Amino acid sequence: MVDYYLDNLDRLQAKPKKTIAEYVKRNGILVPKIFDSLSEAKSSGIDFIARSEHTQEYNGVSGLLKSYYKEEIIGLESEDEIKDVKLKSREGIGRIEQYCNLLQIDKNKFKKEISFSYWEKIKGYNRTVVADSSIKNKYHLITSTWKNNGWFANYTILEEGNISAQYIEPLNEDLVKGLENLVNFYEEIRSLPNFDPNHCPIMEIQTSGGKNYFLQYHRTRDFSESLFKLDRPVKNSEIEADLVRGASKPGEFIVDVTVVHAARMKRDFKEIKLPHNEEGSFDFEAWHTFSELMFRKRKLQITENNLKKTLLGLVVGHTQRSKLFKPEISIITNHSFFETREYESLVKRAVTTGEDQKIKLYVISDGRKAYLERIE
């Protein structure tokens, strides 16, 4: 099935968050109040968020633009003022310039297309739900909120209605009881006529007072069912991933995984060209915009880090979510495939040759567990 909005991006009216929320609301689903203007939001006397809007935010880079809480835009009286002040900041302009340079599009035109929509800020738990891309009835659930003693953060994997894993902090009893309703809420929106029900979107939801409110639909990958079960034991030369999302087809493959991007060694970002293809990457350089543009093109994405630390970063950061949910297969492992000395040598070679430095990995994943082996 074709996604109604992808079929014609003009249907997003340059405001994908607002346009889709209004569509969802017309279908009887709870959505926070959306104001018609900044002045209406200010005069309401309630807390609100100025949420960034650009057509690319539906099916493009996550976290490219920033949204602002009411207190962050005090004294700014118009949308033009918000753009003038906020987009000139180092954070605001840096990623936009990188994005436009990498895609070779006009920066000024892109900036003109940025706008905001103004939403009531609802207290409660911020949730992210993503249907697994290879296992039916499996979901990845992210929950966070600010409490007096700091952030509460949880990552839960739900399969066939049962919790198969929880990370960081456990959900309280009420949140556990609400998981079925949360998934049903996600599926109700996912199956609306304007969306492709075979797609596995990142959906942001706010849970408040026992009710769920829709916030955002962002595209990742289509569902492609795992065709086998990895039931053999791990071999001596292999390592088992700490967490995997996505299955290999027909069962195993060898992939060139980029260790060092030669382009990252350049001082002037304007010289850097976006590759047409990249089979896999470690993304050691933490290069937000470049990585975001490449995630969907990759067969394999590896994060070498402690699992809990990685998932905590995923709870609070868009890029980490993209890294897990947009590539064909994403793997988190605390295993290192090379020593520091070899990495330093690869960096020097990238500078000298101007070529990306890669290693070959054997990979097999059934969507629940994965084995990897470095191939010399």
Give residue-wise pLDDT tens across range 8-24. 999 999 999 999 999 99
> What pLDDT digit, counting tens, does each position of 118-160 carry?
999 999 999 999 999 999 999 999 999 988 778 899 999 999 9
φ, ψ dihedrals at 237, nearest 5°: -90, -5
Amino acid code (one letter) for 37: S
Amino acid 91: pLDDT: 52
Alpha-carbon gap, residue 364 to 373, rounded angstroms: 9
Amino acid code (one letter) for 49: I
> Burial of 372 by CB count in 10 Å (0-12 exposed, 13-18 middle, 19+ buried)?
buried
Alpha-carbon gap, residue 70 to 296, rounded angstroms: 34
In order, the DSSP letters of 51-118 are EEE-GGGTTS-TTSS--EEGGGGTT--SHHHHHHHHTTSHHHHHHHHHHHHHHT--HHHHHHT-EEEE
| pLDDT for 198 beyond 70 | yes
Kindly provide the b/e burial profile for residues 8-29, where b requires at least 16 CB atoms within 10 angstroms of the residue's own CB. Answer: eeebbeebbbbbbbebbeeeeb
> Burial of 45 by CB count in 10 Å (0-12 exposed, 13-18 middle, 19+ buried)?
exposed
> What pLDDT digit, counting tens, does each position of 88-125 carry?
765 556 789 889 989 999 999 999 999 999 999 999 99
Of the pLDDT bands very low, low, confident and very high (cuts 50, 70, 90), residue 269 is low
> What pLDDT digit, counting tens, does each position of 39-68 carry?
999 999 999 999 999 999 999 999 899 999
Query: Do 371 and 234 touch, CB atoms closer than 8 A?
Result: yes
Of the pLDDT bands very low, low, confident and very high (cuts 50, 70, 90), residue 83 is confident
Amino acid 267: pLDDT: 60
- Output the average pLDDT for the chain: 93
Long-range contacts of 164-168 (CB under 8 A, 24+ apart): 167/307, 167/308, 167/311, 168/308, 168/311, 168/312, 168/315
> What pLDDT digit, counting tens, does each position of 209-223 carry?
999 999 999 999 999
Alpha-carbon gap, residue 368 to 140, rounded angstroms: 12
φ, ψ dihedrals at 205, nearest 5°: -140, 145
* Strand intervals (E) in 150-198: 150-159, 162-168
